[in-house]
Every structure is written in C-alpha cells, then in structure tokens.
Amino acid sequence: MTRKSNATSPTVSHIIDTFENELKEFDQLDNDQVERLIALIRDDPAINGSKVQEAIFPSENESEH
Amino acid sequence: MLKIESITIKEFRGIRDLTLNFKKQSFGICGPNGTGKSGVVDAIEFALRGDVTRLSGQGSGDLSVGKHGPHVDAGEKSENASVRIKAHLYAIGKDVEIYRSVASPQTAVVEPTDDDVVSAVEELVRHPEFALSRREIAKYIMTPATQRATDVQNLLRLSEIDKIRKALTAAMGTEKRAMDAASRSLLDARQDLARSLDLEEIDPSQILDAANQRRSILKLEPIEELNEGTKLAEGIEQDGENGEQVSKRIFSERISSAIEFTTGLDADTSERRTDLVEALTQLRDDAEAFSTLRRKKLTSLGLELIEDGSCPLCETTWVEDELREFLLARLETAKEVDEKLKTLTSEADYLSEKMKEANEYLKAVRSMIPPLKLFLLMKPISLRISRLSRRLERFKDPFGDKQKLNELIEEIDGAWLSDDTETVQVLREVQEAIEKLPDESAEAAAKKELLIASNLYSNSVSRKAAFQEAKRKHSISEQISTQFHTTASEQLTAIYEAVSADFTKFYRSLNRGDEDDFEGELVTEGKKLNFNVDFYDRGKYPPGAFHSEGHQDGMGLCLYLALAKHTLGERFDFSVLDDVLMSVDTGHRREVCRLLTREFPNTQFILTTHDKVWLHYMRSEGLIRDSQLFSGWSVETGPKVWDDSDVWESIDKELEQDKTSEAASLLRRYLEHVGYVLSDGLRAPVRFRADGRYDLGDLLPAGLSRAQKQLKRAEQAAKSWENETKEKEIGEIRSKFAKVSETIQVDYWLVNPLVHYNEWSNFTSSDFKTLADSYKELIGILRCDNCTAFLHTHLHRGKEVALSCSCQTMHYGLSKKRRVISNLASARIIKS
C-alpha cells in the first residue's frame, strides 16, 4: 500500500486530453515537445514552472546552463 | 470503485461483532437513533480509507481513530478492532478482500496482492465522497460561494488543474522576464552603438550614414546596406594592441552618463527609501504580522507537499481534502499581510533595479580602465562593483527572516548615500583622466569610432538574435498557458452546465407535479461558484432564500448525485447515504427511490434510515432487495439486529425453545412496522399524537380498517364496471381478510398495547403459534407475493384512483363508472 497511484479524476483527465489535442494543432510545437509536456502534466504531482520550461525547451535550456 | 459483498466489523465504534451481507446490491439499514447504523457507515469508510470523517474531520477536536475507533469496552482487545470487506472491483473484474485494523489504520491488507488490485484499492483512499451524511448536505447548499467553489472543486479533483495552471503561468512568467531582459540588453547595445557614432536616434539609415561619413574621412568604400554580417570597420587595420579602442569623445560621454546617474540616485530614490524603511520597520516590529508571514510560507509549502492525507510536518493523518481546506483557511487569514508584502516587494524591486543599473554603469567604466591605462583606479571600481553585488543580495527574499529584514533596512537606510558619494569621486578621477587625453585628428577619431561602432554593431546583432529567441519562447509559453486556461475554463463551464442540467433533472423528478419548470444553475464568478435555483417562476435565488429546509435537503442530495456522476463517471458504482433520505420531504420519498433506481442502476447504495416506512419504500420501489433492521443497541452487545424477511422463521425458532415472551416481542415489533407502512400507504386516519410516537394500538387497527374499506371500494368500483373477474378476486380477498381478522380478534388484542403484550407473553407456545400464523396469513393477504410490497393507495391530482402493489400484480381501481342519465330522466330530476 505504499506504491503511488497516478490516477486522476475523469474531469481532470478530460481537460488534459482536450488540451493535448489542441496543443497538437500548434505549429510552433513538435510532437516531442507536446508529449514531454503532457507526460509532465499527467504524471508529475510536483510540476512547476522550471519543469514546464525543461519539457518545452530542453536542449536550449541545457545549452544555456 | 467497487461493490461490497459483505462486511465484518469487530470491536469497532459501537459494534462488537457484526457481519452484513450486502451481496453486491443496494442495501438498507434501518433502526431507531442510537442503534449503531452510523457505526456501519464509519466501518465502511475506515475499511476503504483508513479514516473516519467523524473522528478526524472538522470539529472533531481531540478525537482520533486510534484512540476512539475501538469499542469502548474493547480494553486489551482493542488491537482486534478491525473491519474486513469482501468486494468486487468492476473496473478490473476481480474480487478483493480488504482488511484494516485500528492498530495500523494506514496499512490495508489487500488480497490478492496483484498490482492492479492494490492500485484500485489505493484509489479508494482518494475518494471520500462516496459517503454523504445528513450534515454534509449543507456543504453544497448553505455555504458561501467561495467555500462552495472550493468544496465542489475538491470533489471534482480540480486542485490538480490549479497546480498545472500555476506551473504553466510560472513558466510563461520566467520566459517573459527573460524576454524583457533581452529587450533591455538589446536597447542598451543599440544606444551604445548610437552614442559611439554620436547619434541621438537608433535608426539603421542614420547609423549607416554616420558610419559612411567616417569611412569617407578614411577614404574607404561606403557600405551599401546594413545586414547581420555587416562590418562597419571593414578595410581598417587595427593597431597592434588588442582590447578596446580609446575614443576621447565616446569615453567622455560614458563617464558623464555614469556620473549623472550615480549622483542623481540618492535624490531619485530618497522619498521611496524613507517610506520603505518605515514600512519594513513596522513589519519587523509587528510580531503577529511577521509570524503570519513566516507561517504563510510554511503553509504554502505544506499545501504543495500534502500526500495521501498525511501532514507533511508532523505526519498526523487527515482526510486529505480537510487538511487542504484547513491550510487554505490559514492562508486566507494571511491575505492582508500578503497584500502589504506585495507592495513592499514591489518597492524593494524598484530600488534593486536602480542598483543593478548603477552596477552596469560601473562595469562600463571599468572596461575603459585598461585602454586608458588608469590601473590604480581598477581596484576601487571593482570594489564598488562587488560591494553593489553584495548589497543586491540583501534584496533577495528578506521577509521570512528577521535578521535578513534588519540587514535590508540597514542597507536602504544607511550605507546608500555615503557609498554613492565615494563612487562619484572615483568616477570623477576617471573623467579627469579622459579629459587629459590629447585631442585626436579627424582620421584617428574616425578610425577609433568605426572600430568601436563595429564591435557594438556586432554586439547588437547578436543581442537582437537573443531577443528574438527569447520572444519566440515567451510567445510559445504564453500560447500554451493561454490555451490551457481557455481549455480548462471551457471544460469547467461545460461541466458546471452538465452538472446543473443533471441537478435540474434530478430535482424535477423528485418534485414532479410541483416544480416541473424548476431550474438550477452553477455559475462561476471569479473565485466564486454561485448556486441559484428557480423559485416557482419568480426568479433565481440561492437555495436558502425561499425554499423550505426539506426542499433544500432534496437539492443537496440531487447536487451531490450530479457532482458524483461527473466526478466518477462510470466509476460511481458505490455510495453510502447515511440518513440522508430522512431529511427529504415525506411526500417525495418514493420519488427519491425511483430516482436512484432509474438514474444509477449500476450503483450500489448503502442507505441508512430510522424510518421503517422509508425502508419499505426502498424495497417496494426496487431500490433494495435486502435490508437489516437494528431493533436496539446496548454498550455490551452493540446493535441488536433483526431481519424482517425471516421474522416468521425467527418467531418459530423462539417458540420451538418455548420462548413465548421473545416471540411475542418480535411479533409486536413487526406488527408495529406493518401498521406504520399500511397506515402511511393507505392514507389511514390515525389518532394524532404530537410526540409522533405512534405505537401498535395507534397504527395497526387504523391500517387494517382502512384496508378493509379500500377493498370494499375497489369491489364496488369493479362491479360498476361490470368487471366480474376483478369483483370476484376482490371479494375473495375481502372474505379471507374478514375470516382471519375474526380469528385473531384484532380489535380486542390491539386496544391496549400494554395489556395485549402481557397477554401474549402468557400464551403457551402452541397457542401463540396459532396467533402468529393467523397474523402471517392476514398480512400475506395485503402483500404482493411478487414484489413483497403492501397494497397502497394511488393518487391522481389528489384523488384516490387505485389500490395496488408496486409491481401492479395487485391492481384494483377505486373509481366507479359514471351513470349516464338520459335527457328525459335529467329533466325529471330537475323538475322534482
């Protein structure tokens, strides 16, 4: 009973699904960016601004660091 | 979620040892107040979540599951206090056994231990909303709009949405700041470029003209156009020395700007610094405000770290939503201080920006030291730069620590002025050195200025690229954030509309014929979630404005059901309604049963009530098949259970052991129940009692007498319609009824409950067996074999139209056929 569950409410899941579909229509984002961002949103309970930036602009941020 | 097959409760709350078989179907638990019904609800909640809301929620004070979960007399057996549930998990199609003991409430023993089973059981912990009690109804109805928004959003698990929204907004904010910094950097580079060519405007054509003027002096080809790769000093050979070119004019301008800015700094910031020092001192000396501020930081952090309902600081176990609510309430109290803090932060930011600007000037001056060969001034300028950097450090997050706050106050109040004065002195020394430089020839000046401008132009080109990249990132992060906000808002609006529509549908069905045009709506307004309902076409008002308490309770139940449907969707297959139905208007109880049966056919409801008529409705409307009656409770034994489905069998068992008194007690309680149901269902006139404590003598004779009269009416009606089959059927029922009534001398035995109770106790077993069998036969006559419901009267527009059971197998019209009177006959009647 210590394993974490990633279950989300149907309401939240539905919102994230819709958001994902809309992001896929964005010309400025490629599939990898969308996948990384959605995976972060779905699975990381400690999501924050820095993680979002890393998900969207991974290589650029790494090179800047 | 799941459906429960059975629950076994040992030494838990008011229960010693009890097993209930729900058979994965809806189940009713009925008994007077204080007989242990809610103990079963607590046990279900404990088994599924490891917690009991009544022992850990708001207002529970020092209560805890560990101390107050075990039965009060459990003593050393308290370690045996446990609940075991056998259930079926429909989502994964597996049976599961969940065992939880008070000794380790956070650890459920789950069998089988398959990953998907364990994961499904863990999911239950996150859904406390399966249980709704009478007092929780108010949570959705009579609550401030901001609190309702929190409660509903918690139920819909929307805190995750808020977290995502904040993360996306934070990312956008960071990219915005990066873009602004890149923009300022580009502007600075362009201004430096303009200054290097002695220009007021940063205009490409002017830059090109100015560069070509200097190239003309040096007899170099003019540059046709400015592009990213343009070299303004193309064709010029640099002198032997590397490093920055010394241009007397450019250096003079730089040092003048630095001196002007630094000397004006004190006056420009004086008033704001005085105000800020005063405000910061007040904050430092206000112990309560300072403590609130520090607590706020801890509370905000705590909110982020809540996991599985455990306090991140002390690891006390909470119901997760309640811990969240508690911390949010604490944050609310810190709002005033928080607002003040925002102002202070903004003022401090202004000052730190000024300091950063001063530092940039100093760095520009430092770059002129090597070409000017003023090495003695390098150290004091570098010292000032590093001192300014250290001072800037003091502006970082100074409010959570008193010592840091003191340092900031000291910083702003004291060293500011003297430090600037010293800096200006150093700058003036640099200025004097520049003024001493020999005047240059036009060619030399043109060469140096072109070399400097060329470097600055390359710099501005790269800064422009950096700015454009920062702008692109910001634009993407802004679009993502805006899109999420739009998606979430649209979906939430759609959800609230869908919840409103379901709520309206449910409430209308509960109040059919009374509020057919009723409408309710959930509407967001900023952080509020307003809930307004129609009041008989007079407009929309909050539920508490005009509707009765009974109607409000009906609304609470309907809103809960609508929200649960949207929260759990197909997974809303289990729900406990703890005495909730009792609060619904008496006239609408059947409708509640129909609503639950019709709208939630796949949901297992565990319903508790202290009203036997309610229980009867649940059964007759097909909501439940089985139930458990709690006839009493004692601290030593826990609930006294009694099942009316095998009452006759129980009576026979008592009589077999010659326990007439116990058999009499059982029969009496059952007949009270039957009297209650018959009187209510047949609308029997009952002698009024203000205390509502109707007993056997009040109810059974009234119910039976009414049944006789209604059967007689039905027989007459059938006769008027010349329906011989029905007439014969009813005639046989009446005849049988009369015969059995006579056998048991109903009128005699029911006149005085005390007398007849004692009389029964004095019967021999065989005599009492005859009496009990007669009652069984009498009651059987009025009860449908198919649906087990008693005959009850049906109304249409207030008029009694039929006598029937719930499945209509027994159905007898009460309206007689109207006689048709000829014109001649009617004229005679009028004349007479």
Other residues' Cβ atoms within 10 Å of the Cβ of residue B164: 23
Across the interface, of B476, B487, B569, the residue whose CB is closest to A18 is B487
Closest CA to B500 of B584, B571, B548, B563: B563
**Of the candidate ranges B116-120, B297-301, B478-482, B493-497, the one whose mean pLDDT is the lowest:** B297-301
Return the biggest CA–CA distance within chain B: 143
Residue A52, pLDDT > 90, answer yes
Residue B727, pLDDT > 90, answer yes
Crossing angle between the packed helical segments B647-656 and B765-781, to the nearest 10 degrees: 170
**Burial (0-12, 13-18, 19+ Cβ within 10 Å), A57:** buried
The predicted pLDDT at position B460 comes to: 92
The predicted pLDDT at position B226 comes to: 87
Question: Phi and psi (nearest 5°) for B717?
Answer: -65, -45
The predicted pLDDT at position B9 comes to: 92
The predicted pLDDT at position B599 comes to: 92
Structural contact between residues B808 and B698, judged by C-beta atoms closer than 8 angstroms: no
Q: Per-residue confidence at B49, pLDDT binned at 50, 70, 90?
A: confident
Cα distance between residue B769 and residue B729, in whole Å = 29
Cis bond before residue B380 (omega within 30° of 0): no
Residue B642, pLDDT > 70, answer no
Other residues' Cβ atoms within 10 Å of the Cβ of residue B251: 23
The owner of tokens 């109304």 is: B795
Chain A residues with beta carbon closer than 8 angstroms to that of B301: none
Task: Give the three-state DSSP class for B792.
Answer: strand
The owner of tokens 């959800």 is: B495
Picking from B154, B161, B162 by the largest number of A CB atoms within 10 A of its own CB, the best residue to mutate is: B161
In angstroms, how far is the first alpha carbon of chain B from the final one? 76
Closest CA to A3 of B118, B476, B602: B118
pTM equals: 0.58
The predicted pLDDT at position A3 comes to: 26
The DSSP call for residue B411 is I
More confident residue, B483 or B632: B483
**Burial (0-12, 13-18, 19+ Cβ within 10 Å), B568:** buried
**Burial (0-12, 13-18, 19+ Cβ within 10 Å), B635:** exposed
Q: Do the chains contact at A7 and B174, CB–CB below 8 Å?
A: no
The predicted pLDDT at position B7 comes to: 93
Cα distance between residue B413 and residue B407, in whole Å = 10
Cα distance between residue B576 and residue B49, in whole Å = 14
Structural contact between residues B284 and B276, judged by C-beta atoms closer than 8 angstroms: no
Across the interface, of B108, B477, B495, the residue whose CB is closest to A1 is B108
Cis bond before residue B112 (omega within 30° of 0): yes
Q: Per-residue confidence at A55, pLDDT binned at 50, 70, 90?
A: very high
Cα distance between residue B822 and residue B826, in whole Å = 6
Task: Give the three-state DSSP class for A48.
Answer: coil
Q: Do the chains contact at B495 and A11, CB–CB below 8 Å?
A: yes
The predicted pLDDT at position B691 comes to: 65
Question: Phi and psi (nearest 5°) for B109?
Answer: -90, 115
Residue B751, pLDDT > 50, answer no
Q: Do the chains contact at A53 and B168, CB–CB below 8 Å?
A: no
Q: Scanning every residue of chain B, which has its alpha carbon at the shortest distance from the alpha carbon of A34?
A: B480
Residue B139, pLDDT > 70, answer no
B205 to chain A, any CB pair closer than 8 A? The answer is: no
The owner of tokens 């990066």 is: B178
The DSSP secondary structure of B749-789, one letter per residue, reads HHS-HHHHHHHHHTS-HHHHHHHHHHHHHHHHHTB-TTT-P
Q: What percent of chain B has pLDDT over 70?
A: 85
Residue B584, pLDDT > 80, answer no
Q: How close does chain A come to B158, measured CA to CA in Å?
A: 7
Q: Look up residue B306 and give its two tokens.
A: 């809540």
Residue B177, pLDDT > 50, answer yes
B475 to chain A, any CB pair closer than 8 A? The answer is: yes
* Residue B110: its H or E element: strand B109-111
The predicted pLDDT at position B752 comes to: 47
B58 to chain A, any CB pair closer than 8 A? The answer is: no
The predicted pLDDT at position B597 comes to: 93
A38 to chain B, any CB pair closer than 8 A? The answer is: no
Structural contact between residues B162 and B168, judged by C-beta atoms closer than 8 angstroms: no
Tens of pLDDT, residue by residue over B522-560, are: 887 776 778 888 888 888 888 877 887 778 888 888 988
* Residue B699: its H or E element: helix B696-720
Report which listed range, B33-37, B289-293, B398-402, is most confident: B33-37
The predicted pLDDT at position B57 comes to: 57
Across the interface, of A3, A29, A52, the residue whose CB is closest to B168 is A52
Tens of pLDDT, residue by residue over B467-519, are: 999 999 999 999 999 999 999 888 888 888 988 999 999 999 888 777 778 88
Picking from B168, B567, B572 by the largest number of A CB atoms within 10 A of its own CB, the best residue to mutate is: B168
Structural contact between residues B347 and B276, judged by C-beta atoms closer than 8 angstroms: yes
The predicted pLDDT at position B402 comes to: 79
Residue B335, pLDDT > 80, answer no
Cα distance between residue B135 and residue B157, in whole Å = 21
Tens of pLDDT, residue by residue over A17-47, are: 999 999 999 888 899 999 999 999 988 878 8
The predicted pLDDT at position A6 comes to: 40
Based on C-alpha coordinates, what's the Rg of chain B?
43
Q: Per-residue confidence at B158, pLDDT binned at 50, 70, 90?
A: confident
A-contacting residues in B 383-442 (Cβ below 8 Å) = none
More confident residue, B251 or B182: B182
The owner of tokens 């790269």 is: B462
- Partnered with residue B10 across adjacent β-strands are B17, B82
Q: Do the chains contact at B157 and A9, CB–CB below 8 Å?
A: yes
CB within 8 Å of B725: residues ≥ 6 apart: none
- Mean pLDDT, chain B, rounded, equals 82
Residue B222, pLDDT > 80, answer yes
A-contacting residues in B 431-460 (Cβ below 8 Å) = none
Structural contact between residues A37 and A23, judged by C-beta atoms closer than 8 angstroms: yes
Picking from A4, A8, A12 by the largest number of B CB atoms within 10 A of its own CB, the best residue to mutate is: A12
Picking from B155, B476, B480, B571 by the largest number of A CB atoms within 10 A of its own CB, the best residue to mutate is: B480
B491 to chain A, any CB pair closer than 8 A? The answer is: yes
**Burial (0-12, 13-18, 19+ Cβ within 10 Å), B300:** middle
Q: What is the pLDDT averaged over residues B196-223?
A: 89
Residue A5, pLDDT > 50, answer no
Q: How close does chain A come to B107, measured CA to CA in Å?
A: 6
Chain B residues with beta carbon closer than 8 angstroms to that of A50: 170-171, 174
Across the interface, of A8, A15, A53, the residue whose CB is closest to B171 is A53
The predicted pLDDT at position B77 comes to: 66
More confident residue, A56 or B161: A56
A58 to chain B, any CB pair closer than 8 A? The answer is: no
Q: Per-residue confidence at B242, pLDDT binned at 50, 70, 90?
A: very low
Q: What is the pLDDT averaged over residues B682-710?
A: 84
ipTM (interface predicted TM)? 0.89
Q: Look up residue B750 and give its two tokens.
A: 């029911």
More confident residue, B764 or B418: B764
The predicted pLDDT at position B746 comes to: 58
∠ CA B563-B564-B566, nearest 5°, is 65
Q: What is the pLDDT averaged over residues B575-591?
A: 77
The alpha carbon of B462 is separated from its chain's Cα centroid by a whole number of angstroms, namely 50
Cα distance between residue B828 and residue B824, in whole Å = 6
The predicted pLDDT at position B250 comes to: 82
Residue B274, pLDDT > 50, answer yes
Chain A residues with beta carbon closer than 8 angstroms to that of B168: 49, 52
A21 to chain B, any CB pair closer than 8 A? The answer is: no
Question: Phi and psi (nearest 5°) for B477?
Answer: -65, -35
